Structure 1
Amino acid sequence: MLVSEAIATRRSMRTFKPDPVSRADVEWIIANATRAASNGNLQPWKLYVTIGPARERLSGAILKAIDAGDNGPGGEYDVYPKEFTPLYDQRRKLVGKQLYTVLGVPRGDAAGMLKQFRRNFLFFDAPVGMILCVERRMGGGQWIDCGIFLDQLMLLAREKGLHTCPQAAFSRYQHVVRRELGIPDDQIVICGLALGYADPEAIPNNLVTERAPIQDFTTWFDQ
């Protein structure tokens, strides 16, 4: 698979098959992702991988906390800016509308939206659930490194015929994730990553989000 093919076919999948993923394939993806660019070669990423019963325990613990109203302290970083400019607000609302339309959840259906939100913590039924962390002492450059590493994981998954879904939602219940996986206090939970075989027949998996043309964000200097 060409890199361009992996990029073009990578999408955030929200319905996975129960088919298991071999540990050898998961290890291959992670090992090759370590070639990600890293400022000063610090390689700051910390990765926690759950499979099978361990994945189910983590999911169960988070859903139990949600049902009990145990929201904890919440996430430890801002997933979105505190205020959206019109352009970014428009993009966010558009993808939300597109997603909930294909899911068959009409606007105002709070129960339907909650049901879909809870599916995040099942890793959308993917057999492998990963949690990406970074040490608190690290700076913004190391968060960039973690983002590059995450992208490598997703593209390498495509080479193995697998799909993924990065999930910032896990940061909201980092107190449960931390407890269940023994993540030390000196690390910040960045996000989760679902990994598995996507169900090609599932309607949500066929949503292809729009991307801005390069002239919208690129400035050229050639003289």
Structure 2
Amino acid sequence: MRVSEAINSRRSMRVFTPEPVSKADVEWIVTNANRAASNGNLQPWKLHITMGKARQRLSAAILKAMDDGDSGPGAEYDVYPKEFTPVYDARRKLVGKQLYTLLNVPRGDAAGMLKQFRKNYDFFDAPVGMILCVERRMGNGQWIDCGIFLDQLMLLAREKGLHTCPQAAFSRYQHVVRRELKIPDDQVVICGLALGHADPDAVPNCLITERAPIQDFTTWHSE
């Protein structure tokens, strides 16, 4: 698979099949993703991989915390900007509308939206659930490095015929993730990543988000 094919076929999948993913394939993906660029070659990413019963326990623990009203301290970083300018707010609202329209969840259906949101914590039934962390002593540059590493994981998954879904939602329940996976206090939970075989016929997986034309964000300098 060409890199461009991996990029253009990658999208966030929200329904996975029960088909297992071998540990060997996961190791291959992670080993190759570890070639990701990082400033000063710090390689700051910390990855926690759950499969089988361990993944199920993590999901069950978070869903129980939700049911018990145990929201904990919340995320340790701002997932979104504190204020949205119109262009970014429009993009966020559009993708939400597109997704919930596909799911036949009308605007204002709080119960339907919550039901779909809870599926995040079951990794959308993917057999592999990853949690990406970084040491809190690291600077903003190392968060960029972790983003590069995350992207490599997703693209390499495509080479193996697999799909993924990056999930910032796990940062909300980082206190449960930390407890269940024994993540040290000196690590910040950045996000989760579902990995597995996507169901091509599932309605949510038909969503292909729009992208802005390059002239919207590119400035050329030639003289």
Fold match (TM-score > 0.5): yes
Which structure 2 segments of 5+ residues have no match?
Answer: none
| Matched residue SS, 2:205 | helix
Aligned residue for 1:57? Answer: 57
Aligned residue for 2:74? Answer: 74
Distance of 1:216 and 1:61 partners within structure 2: 43
Identity %: 83
Q: How does 1:98-177 map to 2 (within 5 A)?
A: 98-177=98-177
Give the letter for the 1:136 counterpart: R
Distance of 2:125 and 2:104 partners within structure 1: 19
Distance of 2:221 and 2:135 partners within structure 1: 38
Q: CA RMSD of the aligned region, Å?
A: 0.3
Give the CA deviation at 1:90.
0.4
Give the CA deviation at 1:222.
1.2
Aligned residue for 2:11? Answer: 11
Give the CA deviation at 1:200.
0.1
Give the letter for the 1:132 counterpart: L
Distance of 2:13 and 2:70 partners within structure 1: 28
Distance of 2:212 and 2:198 partners within structure 1: 26
Pair 1:95-2:95 in alignment: yes
| Matched residue SS, 1:32 | helix
Distance of 2:28 and 2:102 partners within structure 1: 34
Aligned residue for 1:197? Answer: 197
Give the CA deviation at 1:128.
0.2
Distance of 1:159 and 1:206 partners within structure 2: 20
Pair 1:183-2:183 in alignment: yes
Give the letter for the 1:83 counterpart: E
Aligned residue for 2:217? Answer: 217
- Superimposed CA distance per residue, residues 23-82 of structure 1 (whole angstroms, 9 cap, x where no aligned partner): 000000000000000000000000000001100000000000000000000000000000
Give the CA deviation at 1:86.
0.5
- Superimposed CA distance per residue, residues 165-192 of structure 1 (whole angstroms, 9 cap, x where no aligned partner): 0000000000000000000000000000
- Superimposed CA distance per residue, residues 73-105 of structure 1 (whole angstroms, 9 cap, x where no aligned partner): 000000000000000000000000001000111
Give the CA deviation at 1:204.
0.7
| Matched residue SS, 2:165 | strand
Aligned residue for 2:25? Answer: 25
The list of structure 1 runs, each at least 4 consecutive aligned residues, that deviate by more than 3 angstroms after superposition, is none
| Matched residue SS, 1:116 | helix
Distance of 1:103 and 1:40 partners within structure 2: 44
| Matched residue SS, 1:190 | strand
Distance of 2:59 and 2:104 partners within structure 1: 24
Count of residue pairs brought into register by the alignment: 223
- Superimposed CA distance per residue, residues 138-161 of structure 1 (whole angstroms, 9 cap, x where no aligned partner): 000000000000000000000000
| Matched residue SS, 1:83 | coil
Give the letter for the 1:180 counterpart: E
Distance of 2:82 and 2:221 partners within structure 1: 33
Distance of 1:17 and 1:208 partners within structure 2: 19
Give the CA deviation at 1:14.
0.1
